[in-house]
Structure 1
Amino acid sequence: MNGIGVKYFIITIASIFLALGIGIVIGFSLNSEKFVQKQFQQQLNIIDKNLVALKKENDRLSKEIDEYKNQIVQKDKINNALVSAYLKIGKTESAVSLIITSTDYSYNDLIDFLRKNGIKINKVIKIKSSFLNIEKTEKELSVDFSDYKFPDDAIKDIAIYSVFDIRSDLVKKLVEKRYIEENRLLSGISDTIILAGGNTAQNNNFNKLDRKIVEFLNDIDSLNVIGLQQSYSEINYCEYYKSMGLSTVDNVDEVSGRVSLIELIRGNSGNYGTKKEATSILPTNFINVEDAKKALEKRRASLLVELEKYQNATLPTQ
C-alpha cells in the first residue's frame, strides 16, 4: 500500500468515527430534549392540579370569611341592642365635664356617643400642647400672667371651672390665647369629671399635667373622678390614674369600654378594660337605679357644700 492509500485509509477511518460521534451527540441531544419536554409537561400537570386545589381552598376560605363577617354584623347588632337596653334601664341624671389632657388622640366620637345616649355634658375642656410650655413661649407673660404661678394656678382654676362652673380671669386668658379650648354646653355644677388622657411615648405629660389635676380634684369631697384612654394609646395612663385611686376605663373606644364608662358615671367603681391595670373587661355587678340615684344625690349635696368654699374665695369670675 502506497503513502496515498494509507492516508486515504486513515481519513476514511477518522471520518467514520467522526460521523459516529456526531450521530451519538445528535441522538443524545434528541433524547435529552424529549426527556426535558416530558419532565416539563409533568410539572405543568402538577402545577395545574395544584392551582385547581388552591382555587377550591380559596373558595372555601372566602365562604368562611363571609360567614364570619355575617356573624360579626349579627353580634354588633346584638351588642348595640343590649347597650341600648342597658342605657334605657341605667339612665343617669349625672352632669359631666370632660378634661381632655391627651394631645395625640381625639375624643370626639366619645363625646358624640355620650350626648346621643342622654348623658348631660356641661363642658369640654381641652388642654393643648402649648399649655405646658407657656412660660417658654409667652412673650407677654410678665404682663398678662405675672400674678400667677404656672402651671399650678392654671390647673387649679381649670379644675374649679370644670366642677363648679366658676370661670376665673386666668381661665379666660388661657382660652383667649388658645392654650386651652372650651366647649361650654350647659351651666351648673358637674358631679362627675372625666379625665381623657393617653399619649404617645414622646408626649407622656402625666406627671406634669394629669397628676396635678387629679391631686386637686381628689381634694373635692364626693366628686366622681374617672380616668380613661383609648385601647391603642401608647402610654397606659389608666395605670397611673389607678395608682392615684381613680376608677378607670382603658378601652373607651370599644363598646365594652363605653358601657363600663356609663356604669362609672352612674356611681359604680372599678378598673375596666383590656390592659394590665384592669381587673375585668366589664363590671361584674351593675348598680341598680335606686342606688345610683342615692349616690348622685349624696354627691350633689356634698358638692354644694364644697361650692361655698370657692364662692367665698377671691377668684375673679364671669
Structure 2
Amino acid sequence: MLRLRDHIASLVAVFLALGLGILIGTGFSEDMLVTQQRLLIDRLTLEFSDLREEQRRLEAQIQEQKRDLYLWEQYQKALYDMYIPGSLAGRKPALICHAAELPEEIPKLLADAGAEPVALLRVPEKGGGEQCAAGLGQAVGSLLVAGDTEKQVEVLQELQQDGRLEAELIQPGRADSLLLFLGETERVDTVFVRELAAAAKSLGIPLVGLENSKVKKSALAELKAAGMSTIDNADTVFGQFSLLAVLQGVPGHYGVKAGADAFLPAVREVP
C-alpha cells in the first residue's frame, strides 16, 4: 500500500513540475524573446568587430616586421660588403667537423674573405672507444700542419682506413689555423678535443672551437679551458662576424650561451 501511495505521489510531483514549466514558459512574452535575441546579436557584432580590429592590428604588425627585416637585410649586406671581401686573403684554415655538421654559410664566408681552406675533415662522433680516440687529435694536428704532401697522403690514408676520419677536402700546404666544429657534448670525444688543442698549441697555430646555436649541451668548455677561442653561434651572421674577428687576431669567447664572455668582439678591436 505504501509503495502505491509513493508511486502516486511521485506522479503528482511530475505533473506539477510539468505544469509549472509550462506556466513559466508561457510567461515569456514575444517582446522578451526579441529583446534577448537583439542583445545576443549586438554582443556577437561587438565581438566580431573586436576580432576584425585585432586582425588589422596584427596585419599592420606583420607589415612592420617585414619592413624591419628588409632594412636589416640591406644593412647586413652593406656591412658584409664593407668588411668581408679580402679580409682573410692568403689565409689557409683547416676545417674539422666532429659530431657536427658544417654550417653552410661558413664556406661562402671564407671564400668571400679570400681564405683558401686546405682541408675539410669529418671525425665520427664518440662511440669507438678509448683506443680509437687515443692519438687521433695529435695525428690530425700533424696531418694539417705537415706541409709535406707525401706525408699528408700517408697519414690520411692510414686514418681513413681505420675509419677514424673522412676527408672531403685535402690540399697541399700547411694550415695556419684550425676551425673545429663540435656537436652535442654527449656525442663529442673529449680525448680527441684535448689532444687536438694540445697539438695546436705545441705547433703554434690557433684553434677556434665553434658550434651551432641550436646545440643545447655545449662541448666548448674543453677548448675554453685550454685557452682556445670559442664561438657558440657559428650558424648566425653574428657568429660569422666573430669568427672573422678571431681569425684577424681578436681572440675571445663569443656568442649567446653561458660559456660566452661577450656577444660580439668590440668593433674597435677588429682590424
Task: Answer yes or no: same fold by TM over 0.5.
Answer: yes
Classify 1:27/1:271 alpha carbon distance in 2 versus 1 (closer, same or farther; 3 Å): same
**What is the match of residue 277 of structure 1?**
259
**Which residue identity lines up with residue 65 of structure 2 in the other structure?**
Y
Classify 1:26/1:268 alpha carbon distance in 2 versus 1 (closer, same or farther; 3 Å): closer
Deviation at 1:160, TM superposition (A): 0.9
Q: In structure 1, which of residues 43, 49, 53 is the aligned counterpart of residue 50 of structure 2?
A: 53
**What is the match of residue 41 of structure 2?**
44
Rg (Cα) greater in structure: 1
**Contact kept? 2:136, 2:195, Cα under 8 Å:** no
Structure 1 segments, 4+ long, off by >4 Å, are: 24-27, 33-37
Classify 1:107/1:151 alpha carbon distance in 2 versus 1 (closer, same or farther; 3 Å): same
**What is the match of residue 250 of structure 2?**
268
**Cα distance between partner residues in 2 of 1:180 and 1:258:** 26
**What is the match of residue 201 of structure 2?**
218
**Contact kept? 1:95, 1:192, Cα under 8 Å:** yes
**Cα distance between partner residues in 2 of 1:215 and 1:72:** 43
Deviation at 1:252, TM superposition (A): 0.9
Deviation at 1:30, TM superposition (A): 2.7
**Contact kept? 1:194, 1:225, Cα under 8 Å:** yes
Classify 1:164/1:32 alpha carbon distance in 2 versus 1 (closer, same or farther; 3 Å): farther
**Contact kept? 2:135, 2:195, Cα under 8 Å:** no
**What is the match of residue 159 of structure 2?**
174
**Which residue identity lines up with residue 169 of structure 2 in the other structure?**
R
**What is the match of residue 135 of structure 2?**
153
Secondary structure of the structure 2 residue equivalent to 1:218: helix
Once the two structures are overlaid, the 10-residue window that deviates more, 89-98 or 55-64, is 89-98
**What is the match of residue 65 of structure 2?**
68
**Which residue identity lines up with residue 215 of structure 1 in the other structure?**
A
Correspondence 1:111 to 2:107: yes
**Which residue identity lines up with residue 128 of structure 2 in the other structure?**
N
Deviation at 1:74, TM superposition (A): 1.0
**What is the match of residue 128 of structure 2?**
133
Deviation at 1:210, TM superposition (A): 1.2
**Which residue identity lines up with residue 83 of structure 2 in the other structure?**
Y
* Alpha-carbon displacement from aligned partner over 1:249-297 (angstroms, at most 9, x marks no partner): 1111111110110111122211111112222222113343xxxxxxxxx
**TM-score when scaled to structure 2?**
0.81
Secondary structure of the structure 2 residue equivalent to 1:121: coil
**What is the match of residue 190 of structure 2?**
207
**Contact kept? 1:206, 1:237, Cα under 8 Å:** no
**What is the match of residue 81 of structure 2?**
84
Classify 1:125/1:70 alpha carbon distance in 2 versus 1 (closer, same or farther; 3 Å): same
C-alpha RMSD over aligned residues: 2.7
Secondary structure of the structure 2 residue equivalent to 1:124: strand
**Cα distance between partner residues in 2 of 1:163 and 1:97:** 9
Deviation at 1:226, TM superposition (A): 0.9
Classify 1:61/1:108 alpha carbon distance in 2 versus 1 (closer, same or farther; 3 Å): closer
Q: In structure 2, which of residues 97, 110, 118 is the aligned counterpart of residue 122 of structure 1?
A: 118
**What is the match of residue 102 of structure 1?**
99
**Which residue identity lines up with residue 117 of structure 1 in the other structure?**
A
Unaligned runs of 5+ in 1: 1-17, 136-148, 289-318
**TM-score when scaled to structure 1?**
0.70
**Cα distance between partner residues in 2 of 1:33 and 1:251:** 71
**Cα distance between partner residues in 2 of 1:36 and 1:237:** 71
**Contact kept? 2:93, 2:119, Cα under 8 Å:** yes
Question: Number of residues paired by the alignment?
Answer: 250
**Cα distance between partner residues in 1 of 2:221 and 2:29:** 72
Secondary structure of the structure 2 residue equivalent to 1:184: strand
- Percent identical across equivalent pairs? 19
